[in-house]
Structure 1
Amino acid sequence: MRTIENIEKIGDLGFYPVVSVGTFDGVHMGHSSVLKEVASRATAKGGTAVVLTFDPHPQQVIAPDTAPPLLTTKEEKLKLFALHGIHAAVVHPFTLEFSKSEPEEFVEKVLIDKIGVKELVVGYNHAFGKGRRGVPQDLELVGKRVGFEVIVVPPVFIAGQPVSSTRIRNLIAQGEIEKASELLGRNYSLTAFVGGGKGIGRRLGFPTANLKVNHSRKLIPRDGVYAVWVILPEGRRAGVMNIGKHPSFGEGPQSIEVHLLEFNGDLYGLQIDVRIVARLRDEIRFMKERDLARQIEADVKAAAEILNTKP
């Protein structure tokens, strides 16, 4: 997949661009429905499947105090776009000036003049332009006038409600990882660098990799213990991840640690992908280290059983 970092650098995208526009935070099941439609229509016409997205998240620019944490970083989104068969992803810097573009100006100067859109695929609740005043019906009117087709994709319902990034964020913040994964269509994941720690896990007989998530705005699940898959250069390994403040050793700042099952290698300095499968329990304060060690042993056993049934 070709990645273009600014609409001013688009150039020739290729024959018959089929386009979608959006933030796509999470690239969840609703987004997936839109992206599949883009790829399918481009394939049918021998055209180019194009996504125009933005970085940073628009709300981070427009209302930074209330901007939501991210479900996916830019890099994660691009990987997911490619997996959906998108040929070109245009990542445009979102600024206050850009946010003031009128809907008609955005369509004419970006979608028509820069991209040359032939078909535009959007979600049912898509909004664009200054104040998010532009809606799919406006796009359809412009499309009829200047000659591009607009396809509005209906919502995807799971458990009786439409899938949305907000709904998924709320589930992850509550530790409802399995429900969030159903809406995402995959396990929620954290990309992180492995750094040094205090050696507490090793002292207890369960050495851990201390993780530093590679984006400050990435949403971290609720404190607790989780069964995870850890993706390493040589393949994936089962693991137990703890998110919390070490209440058994006097509370400190939040940390993220992962213990890999049946693994003796050195992860220090690596960037790894942690795919979160299930929540095992809350973080608990233990008065004695041996009691904590017994609980970790039980966590390892529980994680192994879960991961054997949930690949």
Structure 2
Amino acid sequence: METIHNISDFKNVPHQTVVTIGTFDGVHLGHRKILERLTNNAKNTGLKSTVLTFFPHPRMVLQKDVDIKLLNTLEEKKQILETLGLDYLIIHPFTKQFSRLSAIDFVRDILVNNIKSKRIIIGYDHRFGRNRNANIQDLMAFGSTFDFEVEEIPAQEIDDVSVSSTKIRKALMEGDVETANSYLNYAYMLTGTVKKGKGLGRDFGFPTANLHIAEDYKLIPKNGAYVVKSDLGGNTYFGMMNIGFNPTVDGSRKSIEVNFFEFEGNLYDTKIQVQLLHRIRDEHKFNSIEELKEQLKKDKNHSLDLISK
């Protein structure tokens, strides 16, 4: 898969394309049905499968008062899409100026002249152009003018996408990572850089990697303790992670801290990706440090039990 970061950079690509358009946040099972249809169509027609998406998310630009949280960072989305057999991923910068393109300008200049679309696979409810004033019927009419076909994704599939996204976000906000993972078809991930923390975990016998996530739009699951795994230096390590404020030690800032089992080494300033497998419990304020230590031992045993299963 080749990633292109501006539509204008696609002009030099000598291929005609079959295209689908969307944010594809989460790249979950519902999205994968659409993307599988795209790649199969490309194989059958000799066209190049192409996903056109935008960043920032349009709502971040047009509705700045809305605190939107996304399931994937841009890098995570690229990582997942890379595995699905696409030919091209176009990530075009979304701006207010871009949003003001008329429907005909978008179709003629973007879809036809730049991306060389011969077939567009799109949802029945897709809207585009300035103020989103054009619909799929308009797109089909443009297809007759500019010589491309439009394949409509049925209502049931589009509704499945919408329901899945809602259920995934709801599940994560409730800490139900098993349900979220079942809809995603992969383990929900947090990607960040390990920064120095207070070092209290080491004092307790549970040294932690303090994960800093730069993207403030990334959805962080409900506070609490989780079973996780990561690929560190080519090896897989399991561990337990706490999301929260560490109330027992008067924590005032939210943190994400991971204790990896059987890992020895320095992760400071290393970028890592943590996959969430199970949720163990809520975050609690314990009566003493000793009580917290005892609970951490129980958490580790519980985690190891879940991992072994």
Cα shift readout 1:249-285 (whole Å, capped 9, x = no counterpart): 1131100000011222221121101111111110011
Residue equivalent to 1:46: 46
SS for the counterpart of 1:138 is: helix
Provide the C-alpha distance between the structure 2 equivalents of 1:183 and 1:10, rounded to a whole number of angstroms.
33
Instruction: Normalising by structure 1, report the TM-score.
Output: 0.92
Identity %: 39
What amino acid is aligned across from residue 233 of structure 1 in structure 2?
G
Residue equivalent to 1:147: 147
Residue equivalent to 2:138: 138
Shift of 1:157: 8.9
User: Contact 1:156–1:163 (CA<8 Å) still a contact in 2?
Assistant: no
Cα shift readout 1:229-267 (whole Å, capped 9, x = no counterpart): 112232221110100001101131100000011222221
Provide the C-alpha distance between the structure 2 equivalents of 1:166 and 1:105, rounded to a whole number of angstroms.
32
Residue equivalent to 2:90: 90
Shift of 1:67: 4.1
Residue equivalent to 2:176: 176
Residue equivalent to 2:59: 59
User: Contact 1:33–1:153 (CA<8 Å) still a contact in 2?
Assistant: no
Residues 133, 43 of structure 1: CA spacing in aligned structure 2 closer, same or farther, 3 A cutoff? Answer: same
User: Contact 1:16–1:42 (CA<8 Å) still a contact in 2?
Assistant: no
What amino acid is aligned across from residue 63 of structure 1 in structure 2?
Q
User: Contact 1:163–1:183 (CA<8 Å) still a contact in 2?
Assistant: no
User: Contact 2:29–2:184 (CA<8 Å) still a contact in 1?
Assistant: yes
Shift of 1:165: 2.9
Shift of 1:207: 0.8
What amino acid is aligned across from residue 20 of structure 1 in structure 2?
T
User: Contact 1:13–1:48 (CA<8 Å) still a contact in 2?
Assistant: no
1:302 counterpart = 2:302: yes
Residue equivalent to 1:287: 287
User: Contact 1:59–1:67 (CA<8 Å) still a contact in 2?
Assistant: no
Q: More deviation in 173-182 or 194-203?
A: 173-182
1:28 counterpart = 2:32: no
Shift of 1:50: 0.8
Residue equivalent to 1:236: 236
Shift of 1:162: 4.9
Residue equivalent to 2:250: 250
Residues 156, 282 of structure 1: CA spacing in aligned structure 2 closer, same or farther, 3 A cutoff? Answer: farther
SS for the counterpart of 2:68 is: coil
Residues 142, 83 of structure 1: CA spacing in aligned structure 2 closer, same or farther, 3 A cutoff? Answer: same
Residues 157, 128 of structure 1: CA spacing in aligned structure 2 closer, same or farther, 3 A cutoff? Answer: closer
Residue equivalent to 1:106: 106
SS for the counterpart of 1:226 is: strand
Provide the C-alpha distance between the structure 2 equivalents of 1:167 and 1:136, rounded to a whole number of angstroms.
27
SS for the counterpart of 2:198 is: coil
Cα shift readout 1:31-77 (whole Å, capped 9, x = no counterpart): 11111111111122232111111111110000011141121111111
User: Contact 2:108–2:146 (CA<8 Å) still a contact in 1?
Assistant: no
User: Contact 1:14–1:48 (CA<8 Å) still a contact in 2?
Assistant: no
Shift of 1:105: 2.3
SS for the counterpart of 1:165 is: helix
Provide the C-alpha distance between the structure 1 equivalents of 2:68 and 2:59, rounded to a whole number of angstroms.
7
Provide the C-alpha distance between the structure 1 equivalents of 2:308 and 2:163, rounded to a whole number of angstroms.
28
Instruction: Normalising by structure 2, report the TM-score.
Output: 0.93
Provide the C-alpha distance between the structure 1 equivalents of 2:292 and 2:217, rounded to a whole number of angstroms.
31
Provide the C-alpha distance between the structure 1 equivalents of 2:75 and 2:138, rounded to a whole number of angstroms.
31
Shift of 1:197: 1.1
User: Contact 2:210–2:256 (CA<8 Å) still a contact in 1?
Assistant: yes
Cα shift readout 1:101-131 (whole Å, capped 9, x = no counterpart): 2223211211111111011112344332223
Residue equivalent to 1:201: 201
Residue equivalent to 1:213: 213
SS for the counterpart of 2:86 is: coil
Residues 304, 100 of structure 1: CA spacing in aligned structure 2 closer, same or farther, 3 A cutoff? Answer: same
User: Contact 1:17–1:50 (CA<8 Å) still a contact in 2?
Assistant: yes
Residue equivalent to 2:19: 19
Gaps of 5+ in 2: none
Residues 173, 162 of structure 1: CA spacing in aligned structure 2 closer, same or farther, 3 A cutoff? Answer: same
SS for the counterpart of 1:283 is: coil
Give RMSD over aligned pairs.
2.0
